[in-house]
Amino acid sequence: MKSGKGCILVFFVTVLLILTSPAFAQPGNFSLGILGGKAIPTENEAIDGESDTEFENNAVVGISMMYRFTNNFALELFAEKMDLDLSEDEEESVDIGTLTNIPVMLLLKYQGIPAPGKHLSGHIEAGAGINVSSFDIGGGIEELEDLADIDISIDTDNDLIYEVGAGLDYFLTDHFSINLDGKYFFGKTDATVKVSAIGEDPVEESDDFKISNFQILLGLRFWF
């Protein structure tokens, strides 16, 4: 997780340096944005092959840096934090834990700007990036550990993630706009479950978290 956060920082700094280089110093718009909303999982099962598992709807927050060229095309560096609570519902709901996702993505956009005297515009986008993830076990697993006198750990990989989306922009002034976005994220997260018992060799099992979700987001953007 620490190395993943380091990669995020390096990626942000690198892209910022590129966008502020002389090659990009042409008429256009550089902007910074913040946004928040809700992620709605779209998969029937949270763990591949485990039909009783599901992710709950959860809040998300994000930030972005965007450079819009004069032809209305734009490049956006986007990152968000998305915690997905995982449960298993057999006879009763069991708290398995929380999968924390930090996707860092580069998006290609078509970003409209309203005509003089108008306020409303819109955008469409698509892109890909790396999802930095970690898993915190929940009460259901902790109870199982106590009952069986075992230790359970779940390690996740950083995997590719993809996104397509569209939205509306309302310009309050030349420098401030609010936006309403719909985004569809699709991908999976590889995980390794390790079960350890005293006096026995650890047992490992590989699983896939199915993290595809639809997001509804409201944002605020400042245009330089």
Average pLDDT over residues 87-92: 76
Each residue of 136-158: pLDDT tens digit?
999 888 888 888 888 988 999 99
Domains defined along the chain, listed by start: 2-223 (2.40.160.20)
Distance CA 214, CA 183 (A): 6
Say whether pLDDT at 161 is over 70. Answer: yes
In a 13 Å sphere around the CA of 184, the CA atoms on its Cβ side amount to: 7
Nearest to 206 by CA among 223, 222, 188, 218: 188
Buried b (16+ CB within 10 A) or exposed e, 104-120: bbebebebbbeeeeeee
Specify the pTM.
0.82
Average pLDDT over residues 79-89: 93
Beta carbons of 208 and 47 less than 8 angstroms apart: yes
Q: DSSP assignment of 97-117, as one string?
A: EEEEEEEEEEEEEEE--PPTT
CA triple 59-65-68, angle to 5 deg? 125
Say whether pLDDT at 79 is over 90. Answer: yes
Q: What is the pLDDT of residue 117?
A: 81
Each residue of 191-210: pLDDT tens digit?
999 988 877 778 888 889 99
On the 0-12 / 13-18 / 19+ scale of CB atoms within 10 A, 170 is middle
User: Residue for token digits 């942000």?
Assistant: 12
Each residue of 1-59: pLDDT tens digit?
445 455 555 555 555 555 455 544 444 589 999 999 999 999 989 998 888 899 999 99
Say whether pLDDT at 184 is over 70. Answer: yes
Say whether pLDDT at 170 is over 80. Answer: yes
pLDDT more than 90, % of the chain = 60
Nearest to 194 by CA among 153, 156, 157: 153
